[in-house]
Structure 1
């Protein structure tokens, strides 16, 4: 079969077939009496092998090694190709992220776009000092979308602090740009989003933080509960009690819960929730002790109701602690009277 017919049937141009021949990848088996290249069936099969391997991203040099080495092990080369592809995708994802960040700022001219590119370059530096310098450089138009993306992924505490400061100055867009972080599959990103939203006052950030009360991560969930409880939001009550149960920031959670319980409308549901946890079959000694100690932060009437009921508890340590706290509260009330 002559080169023109091979090109037509294979979809590989005659020019590329000649290039393959020059590289020794596919050499036609014979020549016609007129000196034209003549390809045998095995040559055509090799052409299709070359094209198939090219679709995997192999270079022509690599393809030659694969086809000419009978002892070739595919797994080694495939592993290299996977790594190269991952690196290429990472570079393209970084480029896509930069383009989206620039687009989100809606620059009105190239000067503004180039300032954003300069900021993005600084924020992507491996040097924490360089990243911090990029944030603190004199400029009045740091875009909230860029800052929000950076604060959600920053690991250096000093740079993160500078980002939070800059984002707080960026205006009301900060909340909207941080909100997607709560849906991230990366737990660290969700924790950073909650931390930043907790530092932004106002109803808008509080409404967004309520979504974090259902976060599967207890740290993110607990931080959101503390922030919302401090703002007087009753939906934080179950999560605050869960914080006390788990023992992470339980003292702070008890203080916030005690402040909420001073609202007459919230005192009864808080008392019921604490009583349920104290008598729950799953509550071990350590959990019940934390709950008893948390009662010291509650309003006197609420605390005494539960503490007196625990004075005869089967767990003698719990009973003694409850009795001692009850006596202390009663004495404090008497001295105040």
Structure 2
């Protein structure tokens, strides 16, 4: 069979067959009287084997080893090909993600494209200072996709950079909360905490709704962070969690401050006072928790609080009684 027939049957061009011959991968069986290369059926099978191995990503050098070395074992080479393929897929996936993000920034021209690419590269820098400057630039209006900022803040461990990223997200559009919400379901505790802290700094109704949902989150850190943020926003749903935080001594000072902020609303002041007093009456509450609850009453206005403090000033626990008495004096002096 001549080279043209082999090329048609195998799908390998005559030029490539000559290249294989120059490398010693295939050899013509002989030549015709006119000088044309002739190939046997065995050589044609070898060509098919070469193409099959090339389809797996093997170099021509590795193909030759595989076909000609009797001691060749493919396991190590296949493992290496798997690694290379995974690396290539990861690189292509990252490129695709970057292209999507550049498109999402809706660049008006190549200058915008270059600016967005530079910012994306800076967000992934090993330098915390470079990442922080990139975050600040994004917050000041340099075009960058919200998704890129969300990924950055969920993976950022350096506090100052994380703060700059949260600030930038708070100045972006409406997509931030929905993207950050996915972080609340992360298997990594640190990612869940970063997500809820970022949501807490976005001042819109969608973020508030997500924080309200986070009050029942199984991760207590997420739950408490959401409660503190909701307290600052004047959302009454946070009251039970904030009281529990005081009982359990989990950010209890911040929780007391949040209750004080909420109690500025007269409609909530009595509800908060009633909740604190109800906790004080539980048999399961220890002495230190009762003192913290009593201290929390200090900034809660209203007659319910005053009556509770008057009763607590005679409490069997001397620490509680002294605390209540001191608070009453301060309230009388106002």
After TM superposition, the score normalised by the length of structure 2 is 0.71
Quote the residue 2:26 is aligned against. Answer: 26
Distance 1:81 1:275 in 2: 68
Distance 2:276 2:72 in 1: 70
Quote the residue 1:79 is aligned against. Answer: 79
Residue 214 and residue 79 in structure 1: after superposition, are their counterparts in 2 closer, same or farther (change >3 A)? Answer: farther
Q: How does 1:126-275 map to 2 (within 5 A)?
A: 126-135=126-135, 141-143=141-143, 145=146, 146-168=148-170, 170-171=171-172, 173=173, 175-184=174-183, 185=186, 187=188, 188-237=190-239, 239-240=241-242, 248-253=250-255, 256=258, 263-265=269-271
Q: Which runs of 5+ in 2 are unaligned?
A: 299-303
Distance 2:254 2:161 in 1: 27
Distance 2:223 2:280 in 1: 19
* TM-align CA RMSD: 4.2
Post-superposition CA distance 1:8-35 (Å, at most 9, x none): 444333333333332233335x225444
Quote the residue 2:54 is aligned against. Answer: 54
| Deviation for aligned residue 1:213 | 3.7
**Count of paired positions:** 312
Q: Which runs of 5+ in 1 are unaligned?
A: 280-286, 309-320
Q: Is the 1:244–1:290 Cα contact (8 Å) retained in structure 2?
A: no
Q: Is the 2:123–2:134 Cα contact (8 Å) retained in structure 1?
A: yes
Q: Is the 1:240–1:257 Cα contact (8 Å) retained in structure 2?
A: yes
Quote the residue 1:40 is aligned against. Answer: 41
Quote the residue 1:113 is aligned against. Answer: 113
Residue 266 and residue 10 in structure 1: after superposition, are their counterparts in 2 closer, same or farther (change >3 A)? Answer: farther
Quote the residue 2:317 is aligned against. Answer: 323
SS at match of 1:224: helix
Residue 164 and residue 238 in structure 1: after superposition, are their counterparts in 2 closer, same or farther (change >3 A)? Answer: same
Post-superposition CA distance 1:209-251 (Å, at most 9, x none): 3344454543333322221233232433565567568765355
| Deviation for aligned residue 1:126 | 2.5
After TM superposition, the score normalised by the length of structure 1 is 0.71
Q: Is the 2:224–2:241 Cα contact (8 Å) retained in structure 1?
A: yes
